């Protein structure tokens, strides 16, 4: 039985005051203890977040890490070891906004994945197709290529200490959500693909869905057999909405 994960990606949002308030409000929500819950604040708000969640069930992760594991001459970067040192337990790698805006390649993402695991962080590997790729019937091929950039390079066992987030780009921040059937279809095919390397790793792997998840659609998405929770952007900035999404995953 896979334990669901619901994670909030706060992107480049917030101030110290608003992050504090959001976490206070979230702590006041009734959160299920049958799922894992995490938030990914911006780097400069990590310390503020840790201070707020110290005695709660909410884990804190980073939205990115450097390709290099150790500290060094990499201006503007933060290493996975530094993130571990301040208390992070998870890190997003390969979010589509970084693939697009920072031109991160599969190779760079693979190096970040390696650094994350070497530091003892759980990488959340984000994959997903563009609208053009979906319309060309290339959704699965795109996603498989993004996964294989890690899987073939490092071996399937690395996925036993990772999470995959399937996030169709056309659904991120657009209000367009994949239907539960569309999402389940890709999730099931991702799991089947990984099962060709290891049935047990595929069976245990958490594959979460991201792309305009909100309280109104979460239950239906999370009811799908291969959807093990969500990576939530916009809706995670509202504690009541995010709390409701967490409860949908806990039911």
Catalytic center residues: 95, 167
Q: Rule CB under 6 A: choose which of 4, 123, 229, 234 binds ligand PEP.
A: 234
Length of the chain: 251
Residue 213 interacts with ligand PEP (CB under 6 A): yes or no = yes
**Pick 116 or 156: Cβ nearer ligand PEP:** 116
Q: String of b and e for 240-251 (b: at least 16 CB within 10 Å)?
A: ebbbbbbbbbbe
Distance, in Å, from the CA atom of 159 to the CA atom of 168, rounded to the nearest integer, reads 20
Nearer to ligand PEP, 144 or 238 (CB): 238
- Could you tell me the smallest distance in angstroms from the CB atom of residue 38 to ligand PEP? 12
Contact 191, 224 (CB under 8 A): no
Distant-in-sequence, close-in-space partners of 152: CB < 8 Å, separation ≥ 6 = none
The residue range among 19-27, 30-38, 98-106, 204-212 that interacts with ligand PEP, by the rule CB under 6 A, is 204-212
Contacts of 12 (CB under 8 A, 6+ apart): 42
Using CA atoms, how far residue 123 sits from 31, 117, 239, in Å, is 23, 7, 24
Residues touching ligand PEP, count (CB under 6 A): 13
- Assess 210 for contact with ligand PEP (CB under 6 A): yes
Angle at 56 between CA 50 and CA 60, to 5 degrees: 40
61 interacts with ligand PEP by CB under 6 A: no
Among 14, 41, 61, 211, binds ligand PEP (CB under 6 A): 211
Stretch that binds ligand PEP, among 42-50, 51-59, 166-174, 197-205 (CB under 6 A): 166-174
Residues of this chain that interact with ligand PEP (CB under 6 A) are 9, 167, 172-173, 210-213, 231-235
């Amino acid at each position: 039985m896979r334990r669901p994960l619901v994670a909030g990606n706060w992107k480049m949002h917030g101030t110290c005051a608003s992050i504090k308030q959001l976490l206070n409000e979230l702590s006041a929500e009734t959160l299920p203890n049958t799922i894992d819950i995490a938030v990914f604040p911006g780097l400069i708000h990590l310390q503020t977040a840790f201070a707020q969640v110290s005695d709660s069930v909410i884990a804190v992760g980073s939205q990115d890490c450097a390709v290099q594991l150790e500290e060094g001459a990499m201006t503007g970067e933060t290493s996975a070891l530094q993130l571990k040192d301040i208390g992070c337990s998870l890190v997003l790698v390969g979010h589509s906004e970084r693939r697009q805006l920072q031109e991160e390649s599969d190779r760079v993402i693979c190096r970040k994945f390696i650094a994350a695991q070497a530091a003892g962080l759980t990488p959340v590997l984000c994959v997903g197709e563009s609208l053009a790729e979906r319309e060309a019937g290339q959704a699965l091929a795109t996603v498989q290529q993004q996964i294989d950039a890690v899987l073939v390079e490092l071996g399937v066992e690395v996925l036993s200490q990772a999470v995959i987030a399937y996030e169709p780009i056309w659904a991120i921040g657009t209000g367009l959500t994949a239907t539960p059937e569309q999402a389940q279809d890709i999730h099931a095919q991702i799991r089947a693909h990984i099962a060709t390397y290891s049935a047990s790793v595929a069976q245990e792997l958490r594959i979460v869905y991201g792309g305009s998840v909100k309280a109104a659609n979460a239950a239906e998405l999370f009811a799908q057999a291969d959807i093990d929770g969500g990576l939530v952007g916009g809706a995670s900035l509202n504690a009541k909405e995010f709390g409701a999404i967490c409860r949908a995953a806990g039911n």
